[in-house]
Every structure is written in structure tokens, then in C-alpha cells.
Amino acid sequence: MAAGAELLTRLFTSEIQPKLFPSNSFLSRSMNDDQYVNVNTVELAHSGAIPEVKVDRTILPAPIAKRTDVATNYSIEELTTDPTLLQDSEALVVAYQKRASILDQHIKVQRQKMGNRALYKWAAGASSFRASTGTTRAAGGPAQTGNRKGFGIADILAVQQRFFADDVQADLEEINGIAVMTPRQYSDLLAIAQFTDADKYGSSAIPSGVVRRAFGFDIYVRSQVVVLDSSDALKAEGATGATGDQDAAIFYSPSYVRRAVGAIKTYVDSDKPEYYGSIFSTMVRFGAIAARNDNKGVYLLFEDTV
């Protein structure tokens, strides 16, 4: 050892900085099918043709028609994490709770995956894909290049009108919808006075995760929502990003989307001699779908390419 050299040691703090995950609080704002999570398929019945109403009927007996109902279904998926090995030698060296951190990370990534899957499955049943018309700005996605049109008030009002036109809110005095959008899309709206002035909660309690209510929508902001490709088609969940991608926000009525979420099961295989440590993984059963076969109640607003 060189003269004057000092022996350097490492000090571990008792905490570990965790990975960050997007919010999934919007997921509770949907119809709950959790009781069916242990079956393979959930079937949804849809009523058939509605009867006609005649004014001053003159022909009797009136014609009789049998209503034929139809059904759609969605499958329950099994989501599993890749196992993580924690060797005993690691556990002895570090001072922070790495075991607890590993389990926490597995659970959080499962919740993230469920949120992602729900958004894409609901978006697949959307009845309307509308291109944005707001101020031009830079694209926001990690692989995207070029410019996109941001969100404007006219875009939000157009989605609101679709709710009314489709009779999605026919039995309510006002829109009671959900909007899930990216931070950049939300920033587009914050720059518009009509949007910020529309924040009218009054004495009502703010639902968990909602950043603002405007024009009848409870707005959730999430780092990941859904993406359309350059031809305005919805990409698959988890697809590789491309330069021409277009980020989209999803607008829906809670009564028109469904989800089934099981308990996250944790697997721990302790003291494996061939690995000199323990192995951890998780599994959860999950499913989601846009509830109506006419696709009403779910709408997409995407950032149009300039």
C-alpha cells in the first residue's frame, strides 16, 4: 500500500430510493367485477332492439316481437412477475431492507401493469377517436419527434358533446365523466383561462387522485395513458415507441367500463441451496373491458401530428 494511503470503507444508508410508478387511482372509477376474478371468462349481456312507440295506434292487435339479447365477454388474465433472487451475502452486506424493497417493487409493478392493461382495453372499445386542434408544441413521448397539436378547450367541449349526443349521461343533470391524460396534455389546458376558471368543486369532496374537475370531468394525470401510431390506430399495450406516435387521453363514464382485480399473491422460496438465497415473485388475476358493444361511453382525444 502506498505511503499515506487510507483504507476506504462504504457506508450504506438505512433507506433505499425506490423506483417510481404511475398513479392507478383512476382504476377504482369503473364497474367492479372483482367477484368474478377467479373464473376464466366474464360474460356481459346486452339488451336487444328497443320497442317502437306508436301515436294513436289504429291497428290491433299490435305486432309482437321477441327481444333477442346478445352477449360479449372478456377473459381474466394471469399477470406474473419475473422472479428476483436475493442472495444471503447481499442481505448481510447492505443495511437497508432489500427484501422488503424487492417485494414492494413487485407489487407496484403489478399495479402499474393492471393500470396500463385497463386503459388499453377500455380504449379498444372507444367509439370516437378525435384529433386535437390546440396550439402547436413539441411531441412529448419518449421516442416521438416533431410537433403535435396540444389540447384546447374546443377539444374538451367536443368530447363533452359526444357524451350528451350518445345519451351517456341521459339520466344525469351534468356530465360525470373521467379523463385520464398525460402531464403535457394537462399543461396544455392549464395555459387556458377558461379551463382554470372551470374548477368548481365547492364543498364537494375531491375524489382520490383527481387533480381538477372541469366541464364535468374528474381529471387524473398519469405519466402513461395510451398511444396511437402515425396512422391514428391504437397501438398495443407495451408496444415499442416510434417517432410518429401520438399520445392520447381517454375520457369515459365509470358506468361504461369494467374491471376485475384479484389480490396480488406473493411467492417466496426461502433458502434455496443452489442459489444461496431466496427467490421472490408475484401473481395477480386481472381483466378489463369497455362495457358496451356499441362502444358508447369511451372516447379518445389524441395529439394530432403537425
More confident residue, 18 or 160: 160
Average pLDDT over residues 154-170: 88
pLDDT value at position 209?
81
Q: Using the 8-state DSSP alphabet, how is residue 98 labeled?
A: H
pLDDT value at position 2?
54
pLDDT value at position 22?
83
User: Alpha carbon of 243 to those of 92, 225, 301: distances in Å?
Assistant: 46, 17, 19
Q: Is the pLDDT of residue 17 over 90?
A: no
Lowest mean pLDDT among 29-33, 125-129, 195-199, 219-223: 195-199
Could you report the per-residue pLDDT of 47-62, keeping only the tens digit for each? 888 889 999 999 999 9
Write phi, then psi, for 32 (nearest 5 degrees): -95, 115
CA distance 137 to 181: 16
- The count of other CB atoms within 10 Å of the CB of residue 93 is 11
Could you report the per-residue pLDDT of 233-279, keeping only the tens digit for each? 999 999 999 999 999 999 999 989 999 999 999 999 989 999 999 99
**Block residue for cell numbers 421472490:** 280
CA distance 106 to 99: 11
Mention the CATH class of domain 130-259+297-302: alpha beta
Q: Using the 8-state DSSP alphabet, how is residue 60 labeled?
A: S
* 257 and 298 Cβ atoms separated by less than 8 Å: yes
pTM, rounded to two decimals: 0.86
**Block residue for cell numbers 397501438:** 235
* Listed residue (154, 294, 161, 290) closest to 216, CA to CA: 161
**Block residue for cell numbers 361511453:** 297
Write the secondary structure of 149-212 as one string of H (helix), E (strand) and C (coil). ECCCHHHHHHHHHHHHHCCCCCCCCCCCEEEEECHHHHHHHHCCHHHHCCCCCCCCCCCCCCCE
- The count of other CB atoms within 10 Å of the CB of residue 279 is 16
**Block residue for cell numbers 362495457:** 291
H/E stretch holding 236: none
Could you report the per-residue pLDDT of 120-133, keeping only the tens digit for each? 999 998 888 999 99
- The three-point CA angle 140-143-146 to 5° equals 60
